[in-house]
Structures are given as structure tokens and as C-alpha cells.
Amino acid sequence: MEKLIIFDTTLRDGEQAPGFSMTVEEKVKMALQLEKLGVDVIEAGFAAASEGDFEAIKRVAQEVKNAKVCSLARALESDIEKAGEALSPTENRRIHTFIATSPIHMQYKLRMKPKEVLERAVKAIKYALKFTDDVEFSAEDAFRSEREFLYRVFEAVIDAGAKTINVPDTVGYAIPEEFGKLIADIKNNVPNIDKAVISVHCHNDLGLAVANSLSAVKNGARQVHATINGIGERAGNAALEEVVMAIKVRHDYFKDVYTTINTKEIYKTSRLLCRITGSFVQPNKAIVGDNAFAHEAGIHQHGILAHRETYEIMRAEDVGVPKSKIVLGKHSGRHAFKARLEELGYTTLSESEIDTLFQKFKKLADKKKEVFDEDIEALILEEFSEFDQEAKLKYFHVISGDNVIPTATVRIEKEGQEVISTACGDGPIDCAFNALEKALNIKGKLMDYTIRSLSSGKDAMGEVRVIVRFEDSEHIASGKGTSTDIIEASIKAYIDAYNKYMARKSFLTRQINEGV
């Protein structure tokens, strides 16, 4: 087997997409995660494009120790000098230089004759070798180039010292069968091709970037340019996670190659990019989308619960996702519903009680797109628990500002008695929650806090949702609160979570006692 080199261009081509620009610090952070992922080459930017890109490449070159760091450069001495200077902090470096070879690009963009393009390409390779012995050459818009000219250019740049020749489908025009044939033709028609690695760089304008890349690998390419989440110019680039997992899952088909990617870092890398760019992948995105390992249909859920491989070709854990997700909705069946009850700790319910709850669940599911755990617990407590609200808010007062210590006083009614408590904190919400915990005589760990507006205007009604783990319990409780005062909504949400926790605790205790 031969190693398939994974050339990540998230920080260069990926960042060129509108809305995906990154600061120097963000690029460094992303590069270090790419190194953990195990990519072979990190294209950190285009040194001549801006001072910011130059500085980012230099910082990445300083920080990254294992992956090769690369800078893009046009086939111009000034670009190549900038790239060489930016990469100077590391010996493990590559310069990636390019020039267009298609008739349309040569005529309208470059305004150069084919002979001039060939000469410029060779000159660029020789100049880049002054800065590093690892030079990659890209024939921009290779797929739409005339084949005989493309072969001549590749032969010439390899003779000049290029170690990698890259074949881009710059505008995403290729079809997999055609692109694979191009790679095979290059292997058969470039006399010195054995002295260089064939690389591919595919765009996704027709949604075929990954398919074209894999077709190229099958026909002899041994390096693939890709980006995390498939970000990039226009419709994006080949998605790294899809290329890598296709090679891994279908090793029976791609038996001639392997990658050294640590696939368990894929999900983490994807989410880091989302946080940095503020742009999230669509739910049905392969490998890293929220629904990639989620199942709602009852038949699928039953199959997954019986034997995972009935409906999953890879394990969620293989790409760093904690586990497959059974999504409860109107298509879900009784098997999935019962499994979720058991996961929530309701293991003592009788089959008739489960049947009753399942019928209520189906009615609720017809009204909601997705039924959450708290919805299920609400059904259980509504049906079986006689436990009233443990605590109610009677009064609160919060003092906060930039020159005072935030302090909250709350008065609650608990078990028929009024309790008043005061506490300080880091802000108005924190001190209010601290005061509540003193009044309730319980410790909670806030796992999540979200807020959204339910209407428009300055006096909009706000909804707060909290998820809390009380008393180191294995299970978490969620609560919601609404008010035009966001502090009041937060306090109500926390009390709601506490009441649900206590109701659940009482119900389980009663079930156990009745079982005994």
C-alpha cells in the first residue's frame, strides 16, 4: 500500500470563501488542531496576498512541529521570495507555486502565450528551489487545459525540480470518470512522472469535488488537497473528512492507499472551525453534520438498537462523535422510546405504563418536530407523579454594576415555608443562582445557558433555558423561564429545573419502594 498525502488548504483556499476569514491567532489555533488531526501538509496562506497572511504563515511555521507548512505563490519571483521569508522559521516547509494553463485563462487573465507560460513555470520552480527543496507546482484550471500542452508543462517543471505536480479542477467542471482518466493520461504521457507525486485540487461547483478526488486516487493520484467541512471558494473544496473516511470505510475498494489521519479528531476539528468562523455545517452534512449519526425513523431505530451496522457504515466514535443519536419524533417506534426511557433512568416502568406513555408521546410528536428528554420527563411526571412544585419564586432583588459587587436576594416558597437568601457572584445571573442554591440548600452545576427573544422591540419577552446537574447526579435537569426581565426569566428557569429534578427524584424513589 502507498500513503495518500493529505494536503489541507483550510487556512488558504478555505479562508478565501466570503465570511470565512481568520485572524492570525485563529489560524495558529486551527493549524495546531490540524496537526493533531494528522494532516501531512498545512497550506497556511498566500504570503504575498497581505501582511496578515504573511504573519499567519510565519506564526504557523513557528508553532507547528510535525506537519509540513506551505505557502502559496504565483509564478513570480516577488511572491516566491515572500513565501520563502514567511516559511523561514521551519525547515519542514514547502512552496506551492502556480500558473494557469487553460486557453481561456492564458488568453483573458494572463494575456500570455503558451510558450511564455511554460517558461514562467520553469523559472518559478528553479527560483523556489533557492528557499526549499520541496516545491509543488499547480497548473491552474488543469482540467480545461489542452492535454498535450499540460503534459509538456508537467514534464518541464519536474525536470526543473518540482517534487509534486498538482492537477486542479479549478472551476468544478469535471465529472469523476473524466477526471480519473485525466490522471491516468498524465501518468501515461508525462515521461518523468515517476519523479513526482501527482496531486489533485477539486472544487465543488457541481457537488463532485470528493467524487473527483477519489476517482483521481483510484487512477494514481497520491496527494489530495482538501479543506475541513469542505469550505472554500464559491461552492467549496473537497471535504477532508469525506475523502479520508471514504478511504477508510471502503478500504476494500481503495486497497492500494492509506492515510495517517487520526480520524477521532475529525469532529473536534470541524467544530473548532465552526466556532472560529461562526459558520456551521448543514445538519445533513456527511461525517460531521448533526444528523450524520442521527436516526428518527422507527425501522431504522429498531435496526440500530439491535445491531449498529444495519444502518451505519462507520461508528460515530471513529470520527470523534460521542455516539449515534436516536432522535425521537413522529416516525419513532416503541423500541426507541423504551430505550430512551431506560437511558433516562426509568427502568422500573411496567409494559402497560410504557404503552400509556408511548401513546401520549406519539400525540406530542405529531405537534413537535423533535421530542426532547425534558418533554418525555414532563409526560412521565404528568402521568404518574403526584409531586407538586417543590419551590416557587416570591421575590428577588439584584444589585449589579461596574463599580459594585453583584449581589442578589431571593425569597422563595419551599414546602410551605418562605426562605430568604442573599449571595454575591460574578454578575447578576451568577449571584442570583448562588442565592437560589443557598435558599434551596442544594448545589448545582450549570451545564448550559441559552437565551432567546420571543418577540421584537425593547420590551420583548425573553426565554431562558438552563441545563443543570444537581448534587453530582448522573442525570441533568432542564428548565425554562420567560419574562421581559431577563434576570427574572433566568431565576424562573433555574427553579423550573430544580422542581423537575426533585419531582423525578421523588418519582424514582416511589417506583423503587413499590417494586420492593
Q: Domain containing 465 — which CATH number?
A: 3.30.160.270
The answer to whether 394 and 418 have CB atoms below 8 angstroms apart is yes
Predicted pLDDT of residue 279: 79
Beta carbons within 8 Å of 59's beta carbon, 6+ residues apart: 24, 27, 28
31/302 Cα distance (integer angstroms):
41
**Domain stops at, among 229, 251, 277:** 277
**CA 205, CA 234: separation in Å to the nearest integer?**
7
**What is the grid cell recorded at 456?**
421584537
Check the annotation: does 141 bind a ligand.
no
Q: Provide block-wise average pLDDT over 10 residues at a time, the chain (516 residues).
A: 97 87 93 97 96 96 97 97 98 98 95 96 98 98 97 98 98 98 98 98 97 98 97 95 96 96 93 85 81 52 51 71 60 75 71 82 71 68 58 92 93 90 94 95 90 68 85 77 87 90 75 57
Q: Which domain holds residue 300?
A: 294-384
**Same domain as 378, residue 404:** no
Report how far residue 83's alpha carbon sits from residue 77's, in angstroms, rounded to the nearest whole number. 10
200 touches 213 (CB < 8 A) = yes
Measure the CA–CA gap between 290 and 280, rounded to whole angstroms: 10
Evaluate whether residue 286 is within a structural domain.
no
What's the angle, vertex CA 230, arms to CA 226 and CA 235, rounded to 5? Answer: 115
The domain total for the chain is: 3
Q: Does residue 95 sit in the same domain as residue 54?
A: yes
> Is 237 annotated as a binding-site member?
yes
Please answer whether residues 368 and 334 qualify as being in contact, where contact means their C-beta atoms are separated by less than 8 angstroms. no
- Report yes or no: 391 and 355 within 8 Å, Cβ to Cβ: no
What distance in Å separates the CA atoms of residue 372 and residue 327, rounded to the nearest whole number?
A: 8
Classify residue 18: in a domain, yes or no.
Answer: yes
- Is 290 annotated to bind ligand? no
Q: Are 77 and 127 in contact (CB under 8 A)?
A: yes
Question: Which of 341, 363, 384 is where one domain is finished?
Answer: 384
Supply the pLDDT for residue 252.
95
- Report the candidate in 439, 424, 454 with the shortest Cα–Cα distance to residue 498: 439
For residue 111, what pLDDT is reported? 93
pLDDT, residue 300, reads: 47
* 256 is known to lie in a ligand binding site: no
For residues 413 and 432, the answer to whether their CB atoms sit within 8 Å is: no
Within 8 A by CB and 6+ apart from 264, the residues are: 317, 318, 319, 320
